[in-house]
């Protein structure tokens, strides 16, 4: 199946081709026909599967451009609001469709002016409620979309969402998209949707199958060295490192910068201008590494992130799903790497069981492995490098003093000296030690169950010889 099969308007079809879209993703393939039919929809799909196009394209197909706001998209964060608005504008500009973005931290007056001339409004719940309750804007959209509904629930926006819907017309088509489907999300769907169709792309695995998931076991004091070694070995084009706390983001940013990496931090204590500058630098290649907390990175949509690192495991499986969903987007492959200590093994197993996918154990590469990887990469660079006239002239000058073998050796030595490999040769646990840790944890769990059965048995036998025998022990 291709996007041509949907018979979109010529202008919209041209924008889709220009964006490089050829075959619809699974959620697009199932959701788009249902939206075009006019059905309300509940769609469960993990991040990075093309949800924005799944609702954006069929909505754009049906807009009349009659001078009113015809579509309202509600998202959890400012960053996601900007990204969704940009994507809808990219597809709809040839149709003359204008978008407005509404979120906190920016001028009310400017946002109200933009809403007045927009066909599509993308908004965060807090600012949208302010504008609706104050009467500064009035909306009667034909289409209402809740994007990343589970994140809005996690961020405490459930009551806000309910309040927003009291200001909207009942004559609407409502679409709800969520990576996970909790009881609260299902209850919300029952109150705001009418006889919805359901699309579920996850099956038993709530993570993207294009993301390879790995974990490395280290002692707590080895985390920094392990992270640097993995960055040296994997050499990611663009990566996100997740931390639990803001102070950890700042410390790690400074540490990696001292190691020569172009790293930026993103957390909730930054003002909007700083956040936007950081995300802009990361998207444009001005920073190769983004270090972020879960809340700060919610809704972050960058298609070319090759690696995600969990500096610490998150506290819950849902956060793990959202974290690793920052890579493997738009049909690309990605790698998610978790650095764990032996004390985090139970959390790792709980996450693996919950997300239904395999997280493979690996050992931290040693220095010689990094050197070999870099040598291979250097050979590839040399093979693809074109030589300009100035370089040939310099070679002719140097040939008067050095033979070509010596000259090549000196130049390669200069390149390799710039690539220092830091840290101890061996970092973290090897596979045998990891197996022993798993075996010990399994044995401890078995003993705990045994003690639990014994204690339960004892509680039912409070008299007689068994009780006396236990007291003697």
Tokens of 2: 């291709």
Domain with CATH 3.40.50.300 in the chain: 3-200, 211-367
CA angle 251, 256, 259 (to 5 degrees): 135
What are the start-end ranges of the E strands in 9-119? 41-44, 71-74, 99-102
Residues 6+ apart with CB under 8 A from 434: 217, 361, 363
Element holding 108 (H helix, E strand): helix 108-116
Task: Return the CATH class of domain 211-367.
Answer: alpha beta
Distances (CA, A) of 299 to 52, 122, 151, 204, 326: 12, 13, 9, 23, 9
pLDDT tens for the 473 residues of the chain, in order: 889 999 999 999 999 998 878 888 888 999 999 999 999 999 987 666 788 899 999 999 999 988 899 999 999 888 788 889 988 999 999 899 999 999 988 889 999 999 999 999 999 999 999 999 999 999 999 999 999 898 888 788 989 999 999 999 899 999 999 877 888 999 999 999 999 999 987 655 556 678 999 999 999 999 999 999 999 999 898 999 999 889 999 999 999 999 889 999 998 788 878 888 898 899 888 899 999 988 766 667 787 899 999 999 987 777 788 889 888 876 788 999 999 998 888 788 878 877 777 899 999 999 988 888 888 877 887 888 888 888 888 888 888 888 888 888 888 777 766 567 778 888 988 888 888 887 877 776 666 555 544 444 444 444 444 433 333 33
Architecture of domain 3-200 in this structure: 3-Layer(aba) Sandwich (3.40)
CA distance 158 to 151: 10
């Amino acid at each position: 199946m291709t996007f041509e099969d949907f018979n979109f308007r010529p202008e919209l079809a041209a924008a889709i081709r220009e964006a490089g879209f050829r075959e619809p993703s699974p959620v697009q393939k199932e959701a788009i026909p249902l939206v075009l039919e006019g059905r309300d929809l509940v769609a469960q799909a993990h991040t990075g599967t093309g949800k924005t196009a799944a609702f954006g394209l069929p909505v754009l197909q049906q807009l009349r451009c009659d001078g009113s706001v015809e579509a309202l998209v509600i998202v959890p964060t400012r960053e996601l609001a900007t990204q969704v608005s940009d994507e809808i504008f990219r597809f709809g500009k040839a149709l003359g469709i204008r978008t407005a973005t509404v979120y906190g931290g920016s001028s009310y007056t400017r946002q109200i002016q933009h809403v007045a001339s927009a066909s599509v409004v993308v908004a965060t719940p807090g600012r949208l409620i302010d504008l609706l309750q104050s009467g500064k804007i009035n909306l009667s959209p034909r289409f209402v979309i809740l994007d990343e509904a589970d994140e809005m629930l996690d961020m405490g926006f459930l009551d806000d969402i309910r309040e927003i819907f009291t200001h909207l017309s009942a004559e609407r088509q409502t679409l709800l998209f969520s990576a996970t489907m909790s009881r609260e999300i299902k209850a919300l769907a029952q109150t705001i949707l009418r006889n919805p169709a359901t699309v579920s792309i996850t099956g038993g695995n709530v993570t993207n199958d294009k993301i390879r998931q790995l974990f490395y076991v280290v002692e707590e004091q080895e985390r920094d060295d392990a992270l640097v070694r993995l960055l040296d070995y994997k050499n990611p084009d663009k990566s996100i490192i997740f931390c639990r706390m803001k102070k950890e983001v700042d410390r790690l940013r400074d540490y990696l910068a001292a190691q020569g990496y172009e790293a930026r931090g993103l957390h909730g204590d930054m003002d909007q201008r700083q956040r936007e500058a950081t995300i802009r630098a990361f998207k444009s290649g001005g920073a190769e590494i983004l270090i972020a907390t879960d809340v700060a990175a919610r809704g972050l949509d960058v298609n070319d992130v090759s690696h995600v690192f969990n500096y610490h495991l998150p506290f819950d499986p849902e956060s793990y799903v959202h974290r690793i969903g920052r890579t493997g987007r738009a049909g690309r492959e990605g790698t998610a790497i978790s650095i764990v200590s032996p004390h985090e093994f139970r959390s790792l197993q709980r996450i693996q069981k919950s997300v239904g996918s395999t997280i493979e154990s690996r050992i931290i590469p040693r220095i010689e492995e990094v050197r070999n990887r870099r040598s291979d990469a250097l050979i590839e660079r040399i093979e693809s490098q074109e030589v300009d006239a100035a370089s040939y002239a310099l070679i002719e000058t140097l040939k008067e003093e050095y033979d070509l073998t010596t000259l090549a050796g000196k130049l390669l030595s200069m390149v390799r000296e710039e690539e220092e490999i830091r840290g101890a040769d061996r970092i973290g646990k090897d596979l045998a030690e990891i197996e022993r840790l798993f075996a010990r944890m399994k044995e401890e769990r078995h003993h705990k169950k045994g003690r639990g059965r014994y204690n339960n048995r004892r509680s039912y036998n409070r008299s007689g010889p068994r009780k006396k025998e236990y007291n003697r022990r």
